[in-house]
Amino acid sequence: MKLLLINPNTSDAMTAGIAQSAQAVAAAGTEIIAVHPTFGPLSIEGHYDEAFAAAGVAEQVRLAQAQRPEGIVIACFGDPGLEAAREATSAPVLGIAEAAFHAASMLATGFSIVTTMTRTCIIAERLVQRYGFEHQCRGVHGTDIAVLDLEDGGEAMTRQIEDVARAALSRDRSGAIVLGCAGMSALCQTLTERLGVPVIDGVAVAVKFAEALAALAASSLTSSTEGIAALPLARVQADAALPLGAGVNP
Ligand code: 5HY
């Protein structure tokens, strides 16, 4: 299958790292097309950043249409632009947060989220509510590690995340940890070994879920085009000629 992997921030290094994590779990027949928007923030650490990121996701979904991806993964823990992307394509679109919550709820009776800056905890908390996981998510914890610092974090940073996760497991009485940033993807194996519980990386989970849904699509299970997931109105398509990008990082 052809999988479009969108890093909604504009960091080339982070896009490459996310693509590497996706490739490590992808099936032999899965082609990963890793992209990021032509405009927007280098990292997404709040609602203002997410506003640009959502538009960037919509841009990349439209630009990739000619390649007809059979699955799309939005690789940012805020799942920016997820609903818009679902309106614009019949391919399954997965956000790494939503995918991680589903996987965690299948692996443990309760899970805790460990994310980057504490200021972004509210974003994860609202996603937990929006996706209906209030009963399974026992807590959201910030490490106050900036997103871009994850790129070359080293042992001290890994240990900082491990310590927050260990405290969360104890305080929340959780059985699993969800990594609250696509940039933590490369740490999943190490943290799993050190913590002794399932540590869920939304990038890996979303890739495998997308493969499963694409395989099922062959048996006619496709995304719905009814209700709010209806394809954009003709006028929106007409707007598609609007100039995109050429913005500057805020
Ligand atoms: C992410 N930001 O996964 C989120 C994580 C966060 O640039 N990629 C980002 O802190 O919300």
Phi, psi of 173 (to 5 degrees): 55, 45
pLDDT at 67 over 70: yes
Q: How far apart are CA 144 and CA 180, in angstroms?
A: 12
Token pair for residue 210? 């997308």
DSSP 8-state secondary structure symbol assigned to residue 228: G
Q: How far apart are CA 140 and CA 112, in angstroms?
A: 6
Say yes or no: CB of residue 116 within 6 Å of ligand 1.
Answer: yes
pLDDT value, residue 159: 97
Kindly indicate the confidence band of residue 237, based on its pLDDT and cuts at 50, 70 and 90: low
Buried-state track 153-168, b at ≥16 Cβ within 10 A, e below 16: beeebbeebbebbbeb
Say yes or no: CB of residue 178 within 6 Å of ligand 1.
Answer: no
Q: What is the pTM of this model?
A: 0.89
pLDDT value, residue 250: 37
Q: How far apart are CA 88 and CA 61, in angstroms?
A: 7
Say yes or no: CB of residue 162 within 6 Å of ligand 1.
Answer: no
Residue nearest to atom 5 of ligand 1 (CA): 181
For the segment 85-111, the average pLDDT, to the nearest whole number, is 97
Average pLDDT across the chain, whole number: 92
Coil vs helix vs strand at 73: strand
- Which has the closest alpha carbon to 245: 80, 63, 17? 63
Given a contact cutoff of 8 angstroms between Cβ atoms, the answer to whether 143 and 115 are in contact is yes
For the segment 190-205, the average pLDDT, to the nearest whole number, is 98
pLDDT value, residue 155: 95
Give the ligand 1 atom nearest the CA of 41.
Answer: 7
For the segment 173-190, the average pLDDT, to the nearest whole number, is 97
Say yes or no: CB of residue 43 within 6 Å of ligand 1.
Answer: yes
Give the ligand 1 atom nearest the CA of 11.
Answer: 7
* Centre of ligand 1 from the C-alpha of residue 38, in Å: 17
Say yes or no: CB of residue 85 within 6 Å of ligand 1.
Answer: no
Residue 30: how many other CB atoms lie within 10 Å: 19
Termini Cα distance of the chain: 36
Q: How far apart are CA 214 and CA 209, in angstroms?
A: 8
Percent of the chain at pLDDT > 90 equals: 84
Kindly indicate the confidence band of residue 84, based on its pLDDT and cuts at 50, 70 and 90: very high
Kindly indicate the confidence band of residue 224, based on its pLDDT and cuts at 50, 70 and 90: confident
* Centre of ligand 1 from the C-alpha of residue 49, in Å: 10
pLDDT at 117 over 80: yes
pLDDT value, residue 153: 78
Give the ligand 1 atom nearest the CA of 78.
Answer: 11
pLDDT value, residue 227: 74
* Centre of ligand 1 from the C-alpha of residue 183, in Å: 7
Q: How many residues does the structure list for the chain? A: 250
